[in-house]
Amino acid sequence: MRVSNRKRVLVTGGAGFLGSHLCERLLLDGCDVLCVDNFYSGTKDNVTHLIGNPHFELMRHDVTFPLYIEVDEIYNLACPASPIHYQWDPVQTTKTSVHGAINMLGLAKRTKAKILQASTSEVYGDPEVHPQQESYWGHVNPIGIRSCYDEGKRCAETLFFDYRRQHDLGIKVVRIFNTYGPRMHPNDGRVVSNFIVQALRGENITIYGDGSQTRSFCYVDDLIEGFVRMMATSHEITGPFNMGNPVEFTIKGLAETVLNLVGGPSKLVFKPLPQDDPKQRQPDISLVRAKLGWEPKIPLEEGLDQTVNYFRRFLGI
């Protein structure tokens, strides 16, 4: 018999960049939150301030192994998301996406919990369609150095929809486009954190390629709002939905914006583009606008300012 009416929510990868922000939001919304992480790319520092909250629990656990708990909702965010981290142990990255999905779907089936999969724009690969719509099946190299992540996430989506078809499970799938904000890892190799850290240290800013490739940058608070809205939808709404900022920026333009915010002596330095690095990333968010009434609200410069301030404190600069 339930004693509390509080919703019991599991966040896998909860000590990561996105997961820690999601845990904060769920606590504010009055949930009991179980944060599960193996601390491969996440860190306790991201959630230390939550540990005193009686409605927050932190557990060290790897989702490639089953978890036996009682929950009402599951946000499956577990998986290193930056190339530096997911290419370090590519076999484990694939296992985290695939075995992790199987274990969390099994848990959701047993407990009749709703479950949200944090998928990725990387399911589109190096897209031949621009901007990317959810109906596009992608252009992915299945044997490249990014495949452990790209194909792992694609397989996880397959599993989610097969569990839906076979067991009528309450699934939600969102495809995350580039997201940034406080608590990004300073050495994760992503352009926003790379550029800010290099600029704050007075180092030259490294651009791979000629800087004409594009990305779309969504501030973390906007994305978390999208997650929560998606989880609250009815059983019939499954996604996949793109979640990201539809405003497109060149990498060179981002570097110049960061330099303007930070100041200092840094200059732009250009290096060869890595293998299979996508040339374009821009979400079509028509579906999520129509179904959830969601779109990003925070402009790039405002979000970058918050992120720069975080890294100033983090680096002691």
149 catalytic? Reply is: yes
Least confident of 19-23, 45-49, 280-284: 280-284
Q: What is the pLDDT of residue 276?
A: 60
- Decide if 35 is inside a domain: yes
At 10, phi and psi to the nearest 5? -100, 130
| CATH code, 113 | 3.40.50.720
- Decide if 231 is inside a domain: yes
d(Cα 4, Cα 54) in Å, to the nearest integer? 13
Tell me the CA distances in angstroms from 317 to 23, 69, 105, 138, 309, one per residue in order: 28, 43, 44, 42, 10
The SS3 of residue 18 is helix
On whether the CB atoms of residues 219 and 298 are closer than 8 A, the answer is yes
- Decide if 193 is inside a domain: no
- Decide if 269 is inside a domain: no
Percent over 70 (pLDDT), the chain: 98
Of the residues 75, 86, 124, 149, only one is catalytic, namely: 149
Total structural domains within the chain: 1
- Decide if 142 is inside a domain: yes
pLDDT for 56 beyond 60:
yes
On whether the CB atoms of residues 266 and 196 are closer than 8 A, the answer is no
d(Cα 269, Cα 295) in Å, to the nearest integer? 34
pLDDT for 37 beyond 60:
yes
* Spatial CB neighbours of 87, under 8 Å, sequence gap ≥ 6: 93, 145, 146, 148, 149
- Decide if 51 is inside a domain: yes
On whether the CB atoms of residues 196 and 308 are closer than 8 A, the answer is yes
- Decide if 57 is inside a domain: yes
**pLDDT tens figures, 68-77:** 999 999 999 9
Tell me the CA distances in angstroms from 155 to 96, 150, 160, one per residue in order: 11, 9, 9
Within 10 A of 153 (CB to CB), how many other CB atoms are there? Answer: 27
pTM for the model stands at: 0.94
Structural domain span for residue 34 = 8-181+220-245+281-297
pLDDT for 84 beyond 90:
no
On whether the CB atoms of residues 62 and 55 are closer than 8 A, the answer is no
- Decide if 146 is inside a domain: yes
On whether the CB atoms of residues 8 and 32 are closer than 8 A, the answer is yes
Percent over 90 (pLDDT), the chain: 83
